Amino acid sequence: MYGPNRILETCYARIDSNRILKNEGKVLFIDGGANLGQGVCFFASFFPPGRVAYDIFEPNPNCLEPLGQNLSCFESKAVRIHLAALSHQDGHARLFGIGRAEGGLRSTGASIKQYQHSIFYDASPEDAIRVPTVDFSKFLKTQSQHYDTIVVKLDIEGAENDLLEALIARDAIGFIDTLYVEFHSSLLKGPRQRAERQREARLIRQLKKSEVCFRHWH
């Protein structure tokens, strides 16, 4: 049985997809933080692959094979999988939280933020791996030249605040029509949690004042 959050999110997805797909333009759905494809499979019911193109980002190489298998039903031309983390710059970062005593190799909580799951464990630098990062502002600008509408889902385990601040500062947020964001301050503890909650509240106010259709995801 669905909980209240999933019922509300299903309503959001249905309303948004009906609004967007009634037009003839080309649509791109970007999934930031795909893990094994759980979010993509949910949204594909509303934004059908083929009618909608997909760019899927997942930095954890341990997730790549099962992610590809779970998306094997997608038309090959409709989905592009990127083994990279979304960021404010091109380069590399360390991915934490995949050690045996942490989330495990295919953890849903793997993050480029070392302290992201501090209420559960202290992520070990020794278990972290080096992963590529993609400048999301630049990526959005490039894709906006090929698509009429861009929809984004961000579930990037604590890195969303840095990314959203960069998108707003660089005026790249305007490339997005509809934005689904899961925030993660509740997984921190102490002063870090308070600081990130303040950032989230500020970002939510900014997004609600923008022209983006913002949806707070859970």
* Tens of pLDDT, residues 123-174: 899 999 999 999 999 999 999 999 999 999 999 998 999 999 999 999 999 9
Helix, strand counts (H, E) of the chain: 6, 9
**Reported pTM:** 0.94
Please report which confidence band the pLDDT of residue 38 belongs to, taking 50, 70 and 90 as the band edges.
very high
Q: 7: exposed, middle or buried (C-beta count within 10 Å: 0-12, 13-18, 19+)? A: exposed
Please report which confidence band the pLDDT of residue 1 belongs to, taking 50, 70 and 90 as the band edges.
very low
**Amino acid, res. 118:** S
Q: Can you tell me the distance from the alpha carbon of 82 to that of 54, in angstroms, rounded to the nearest whole number?
A: 11
What is the overall mean pLDDT for the chain? 93
- How is residue 114 written in tokens? 């070392």
- How is residue 121 written in tokens? 């464990």
